[in-house]
Structure 1
Amino acid sequence: MKKSLIALAMGAFVLGFVEFVMMGILPVVADGVGVSVAWAGNFITAYAVGVCVGAVMLVVGRRVPPRRLIIFFMAICAAGNAISALSADPTMLLVGRFVAGLPHGAFFGTATLASKMLADPGREGQAVATMVLGQTVANMVGVPAGTLLANAFSWHAPFVFATVWAVAAALLIWKFVPALDAIPDAGLAGQFSFLKAPGPWLILAAVLLGNTGIFCWWSYVSPWLQHMGGFAEAAVPMLLVLAGAGMVVGSTLGGRTADLKSPGIAAAAGQTLGAVALLLIFLIGRGPVPCAALMFLVSVGLFFVSSPQQILMVEVGQGGGELLGGACVQMAFNGGNAIGAQVGQMVLNTGAAYNWIGLAGVPFSIVAVVLLIVFARRFERRYHLQATGRA
């Protein structure tokens, strides 16, 4: 495995950690800043909004070589987490979460392009999956460790860890990622020209709706495990290791499926798995064994789609919109994250049991599957031939 891809994975690790650790420590943070668990969902939303806003950085950074951009994004990540670590009230934590989210989409858009450039021919999907693997390992190891840190010391501790890691990742990227050429400058308007076609919008709508469905439930996975699974709070970190293992499995399978079949087919398969798992959460999501198994299944589906969807958007953005296309996936992903957290919050505020937030996500996920199937059948081959220069 190339050192350059490992260095990029280190950057993906800290962003994955920061994005998902809040789900594991939500009750602890809520208690620490004096808000309800439902209100604390706003900390998840703040990060997601930051992701959407931050992608705009690529509009002005299109002429900057990828390695410099990625190091800059790690610096912003460190700053945002430092603010979170120093927070003394909900407002300051909201600001810290927003700033920490700013580089997320821009990083993954740029790192996806860099991974494809560094990949051996025919292994682009696996190269992107290697970079994304950092995000999945963050969920398998980092998020449980962050939850343990929060429970053992303070809810501030995970954000201190993230600040230090972001600085270390920036140094590794500087050392091991070679200088790569910036994408051809298509001008300010040229970056957005790929969005005139329907294909990219089908992908982005699928990402947005698919993640809205998943995050209706995933945003509240920690209290769900306790209320529906009957697990003690102390058991949640180990259960999140299981979830992280599912994400690693999903990311690996998604990358290989994208290379063997196509990214569109792989993304549709992953979204289908997520939709089925959410329905099962509503129907049989009670007790320790079903809850643990279903959490694993959702985790597989959640990251099965990750590298295929990133590749799809880089391909549809060919001609100057590659970075923006890759970033748009993360904007849609975290837009779905934000909406899903709010939908789940509305369901819980009615007094409904935690299994109902799984059912609330099913319609969103089903529509995502349909959109990806339409894209794969009508548009994918044309975009792939253009991206490989065979059109």
Structure 2
Amino acid sequence: MQLKKSLLALLFGGLGIGITEFVMMGLLEEIAYDLTIDIPTAGHLIAAYAVGVVIGAPLLVVIAGKYPPKRILIGLMLLFTLFNAFTAFAPSYASLLISRVLAGLPHGAFFGVGSVVASRLSQPGKEAQAISIMFAGLTIANLIGVPLGTYIGHHFMWRYSFAIVVLVGLVTLLALKYWMPNLPAKQAASVKTQLRFFKRREAWLIVGMIAIGTGGLFSWYSYISPLMTKVAGFSESSMTYILMLAGLGMFFGNLLGGRLADLVSPAKASIMLLTAMVVALVVLHYVAVYPIPALAMTFVLGGTSFALGAPIQMLMINTAKGSEMLAASVSQASFNIGNALGAFLGGLPIAMGYGYASPEWVGAAMAAGGALFALAFIVRQRRNAGLAVVRETTTASKQPVKEVLSVDEPEPVC
């Protein structure tokens, strides 16, 4: 698939969002020391960003839905850049906490609008691949941006890491201005009309699939450091390279997921990838004590987890005709719910003394739950399609009778 400059602009946006979301996890010690707070308190900054995503994803899309997509994307990236600049200069813990909530607001909305734009810019039949290019920014962030930001935070100052995010935001703004075509705004439905989508069971099946299924990723990824150092036996200095290996898997998995969704359908791709995640997590649990197999499964899990991004977005867009941007942004909010659930539930068996490989069982159960939601979605779609065929057949079977009566057997004229 030929890479268009317009899609490259979306990739830059995904890169900036990926850095600001994930780099905080590697900077908690530096931030806690600088602001004289403890690490658990600093950890609230991660949750604050997720809260911003959940709030901002539907809210900003509903507010801006009537404007042309290019204008919306530039506005969202402008907010993103300003709020991350606020983070870089925040003088206190309270102001930093507020800045993280604000920085999370444009996250889901940008990916929601960007997903719809990418699908409109793509060639027919390659919509998911176009969306995967935007999500490649997230994977590049995990491969290069987050390790670089963590290194800068460790050796210089954590605020410089967010200065990099601001720089990426400025580059994205320029790319959107000069490379993004002026697509016309689709006729914006009323807020009430858009929200009707969430009265459908299909919508909540997708939300459940994302929130539960992607929790499997975060049950593993949230505790990857103690797993690889205390179970697999790697040194703490090796974690930067291990995270880069996971990021490399995410990069290739994301591209594979886009192709798979276009090939077999987004729903079937989601089931296949969630099932693969279950298997990979169980395998990792048993091979974690062996360094080389543990590294191999780190790459595989990074790939299978991020391969879900494009199929999930396409599933939402295809199901939510008339409210595509809102639905695609809600999928990002659901992803962050999965982030919180996976990290919380994955930590429970560790706290109970079952060891640092125990979150993989939690993750496998969550991924299996997500696969069941996806299966229920497919069953419901097929049933609805079957009912529609029955209605059409019934209607069609009645119509020819009238035609035969009027043509071949005309009523007698008295």
TM-score under structure 2 normalisation? Answer: 0.86
Partner SS for 2:153: helix
The structure-2 alpha-carbon separation of the partners of 1:373 and 1:353, relative to structure 1 and needing over 3 Å to count, comes to same
Q: In the alignment, which residue of structure 2 is the partner of 1:54?
A: 56
Q: CA deviation at 1:214?
A: 1.9
Give the Cα separation in 2 of the matches to 1:238 and 1:276: 24
The structure-2 alpha-carbon separation of the partners of 1:49 and 1:324, relative to structure 1 and needing over 3 Å to count, comes to same
Question: Given the alignment of the two structures, is residue 142 of structure 1 paired with residue 149 of structure 2, yes or no?
Answer: no
The answer to which of 58-67 and 355-364 deviates more is 355-364
Deviation string 1:178-203 (CA, Å, 9 cap, x unpaired) is 11122222111011122222112111
Q: CA deviation at 1:248?
A: 1.1
The structure-2 alpha-carbon separation of the partners of 1:53 and 1:240, relative to structure 1 and needing over 3 Å to count, comes to same
Report if aligned partners of 2:32, 2:38 keep a CA contact under 8 Å in 1: yes
Q: In the alignment, which residue of structure 1 is the partner of 2:344?
A: 342
1:45 paired residue among 44, 47, 65: 47
The answer to which of 339-348 and 323-332 deviates more is 339-348
Q: In the alignment, which residue of structure 1 is the partner of 2:296?
A: 293
Give the Cα separation in 2 of the matches to 1:304 and 1:380: 24
Report if aligned partners of 1:217, 1:361 keep a CA contact under 8 Å in 2: yes
**Equivalent position amino acid for 1:363 in 2:** A
1:261 paired residue among 237, 261, 264: 264
2:283 paired residue among 255, 264, 280: 280
% identity of equivalent residues: 36
* 1:1-391 map, 5 Å: 1-30=3-32, 32-33=34-35, 40-55=42-57, 56-319=59-322, 321-350=323-352, 352-379=354-381
Partner SS for 1:156: helix
Give the Cα separation in 2 of the matches to 1:35 and 1:354: 26
Report if aligned partners of 2:227, 2:288 keep a CA contact under 8 Å in 1: no
The structure-2 alpha-carbon separation of the partners of 1:185 and 1:93, relative to structure 1 and needing over 3 Å to count, comes to same
Report if aligned partners of 1:5, 1:115 keep a CA contact under 8 Å in 2: yes
Q: CA deviation at 1:261?
A: 0.7
The structure-2 alpha-carbon separation of the partners of 1:71 and 1:224, relative to structure 1 and needing over 3 Å to count, comes to farther
Q: CA deviation at 1:376?
A: 2.7
- 5+ residue gaps, structure 2, are 389-414
**Equivalent position amino acid for 1:120 in 2:** Q
Deviation string 1:118-152 (CA, Å, 9 cap, x unpaired) is 11111111111111111111111111211221222
Give the Cα separation in 1 of the matches to 2:33 and 2:298: 25
Report if aligned partners of 2:14, 2:134 keep a CA contact under 8 Å in 1: yes
Deviation string 1:183-236 (CA, Å, 9 cap, x unpaired) is 222111011122222112111100000122221231233343333333333322
Give the Cα separation in 2 of the matches to 1:353 and 1:102: 36
Report if aligned partners of 1:41, 1:219 keep a CA contact under 8 Å in 2: no
Report if aligned partners of 1:24, 1:221 keep a CA contact under 8 Å in 2: no
Report if aligned partners of 2:228, 2:288 keep a CA contact under 8 Å in 1: no
**Equivalent position amino acid for 2:357 in 1:** N
Deviation string 1:346-384 (CA, Å, 9 cap, x unpaired) is 44444553222222222211110111122234317979x
**Equivalent position amino acid for 1:135 in 2:** L
**Equivalent position amino acid for 1:378 in 2:** R
Give the Cα separation in 1 of the matches to 2:124 and 2:247: 29
Give the Cα separation in 1 of the matches to 2:297 and 2:130: 28
Q: In the alignment, which residue of structure 2 is the partner of 1:389?
A: none
Partner SS for 1:122: coil
Partner SS for 2:158: coil
Give the Cα separation in 2 of the matches to 1:345 and 1:147: 23
**Equivalent position amino acid for 1:288 in 2:** P
Report if aligned partners of 1:250, 1:304 keep a CA contact under 8 Å in 2: yes
Give the Cα separation in 1 of the matches to 2:325 and 2:211: 18
Please tell me whether Structure 1 or Structure 2 has the larger radius of gyration of its CA atoms.
Answer: 2
Q: CA deviation at 1:63?
A: 0.3
**Equivalent position amino acid for 2:251 in 1:** V
**Equivalent position amino acid for 1:325 in 2:** A
RMSD: 2.2
Give the Cα separation in 1 of the matches to 2:334 and 2:164: 27
The structure-2 alpha-carbon separation of the partners of 1:324 and 1:69, relative to structure 1 and needing over 3 Å to count, comes to same
**Equivalent position amino acid for 2:62 in 1:** V
- 5+ residue gaps, structure 1, are 387-391
Partner SS for 1:192: helix
Give the Cα separation in 2 of the matches to 1:12 and 1:380: 34
The structure-2 alpha-carbon separation of the partners of 1:145 and 1:75, relative to structure 1 and needing over 3 Å to count, comes to same
Partner SS for 1:191: helix
Q: CA deviation at 1:38?
A: 5.1
